[in-house]
Amino acid sequence: MVSSDIKTHRMESMIEPATEVHGPQIQNITAGAGVFNQEEIECVSELWEEYLTLGPEGCGYNFIVYREGHQVLGFACYGPRDLTNGAFDLYWIAVDPSARGKGVGRALLTASENATREMGGRMLIAETSGTSHYESTRKFYFGMGYENEARIRDFYATGDDLMIFIKRI
């Protein structure tokens, strides 16, 4: 018996570059994540359109999805920061609320770090808010080995600081 004979009912799960078919699910996950406001949801949409139109090399935004069968459980978007040699931004990372606690976010972030390294990146930068609403996000980055290298008071709004998390890779 060779391995191809083994039938399994385990759902295929994998991380891969996003394609046009994943667009609606990416939008749904962004809207349903509970941490993004309307302007941020529209920003994801704009980057996604650029990604589809220009491709990742053309626009600098790389979208990857974590999917189980045809269902997208989460996505990440990263790319090189203009005018730097080796600094990469993690623009977005979001997981479907129904798929939390399964390691989807960790797998997406690890994949983003690996891709950054392969593209010559020396660091991955994740910017987030200092408000209590984003406490689990900050814990997630700390747990993944990121350091909070800078904090800009009142950046997003009065009382809403920018926290710059960085992992040197």
- Residues forming contacts to its own copies in the complex (CB under 8 A) are 39-40, 43, 82-87, 122-123, 125, 149-158, 164, 166, 168
Minimum distance of its own copies from residue 86's CB (angstroms): 7
The distance of closest approach from Cβ of residue 89 to its own copies in the complex, given in angstroms and rounded to an integer, is: 11
Minimum distance between the CB of residue 59 and its own copies, rounded to whole angstroms? 13
List Cβ neighbours of 65 (8 Å cut-off, separation of 6 or more). 15, 16, 17, 18, 22, 25, 26, 72, 74, 75
Q: Of 139 and 151, which has the nearer Cβ to its own copies?
A: 151
Q: Is 38 exposed, middle or buried (0-12, 13-18, 19+ CB in 10 A)?
A: exposed
Beta carbon nearer to its own copies, 100 or 153: 153
| DSSP character string of 37-54 | -HHHHHHHHHHHHHHHHH
C-beta closer to its own copies: residue 44 or 76: 44
CA–CA separation, 69 and 2 (whole Å): 24
Least CB distance to its own copies at residue 17 (A)? 25
Question: What is the Cα–Cα distance from 51 to 77, expressed in whole angstroms?
Answer: 10
**Of 43 and 144, which has the nearer Cβ to its own copies?**
43
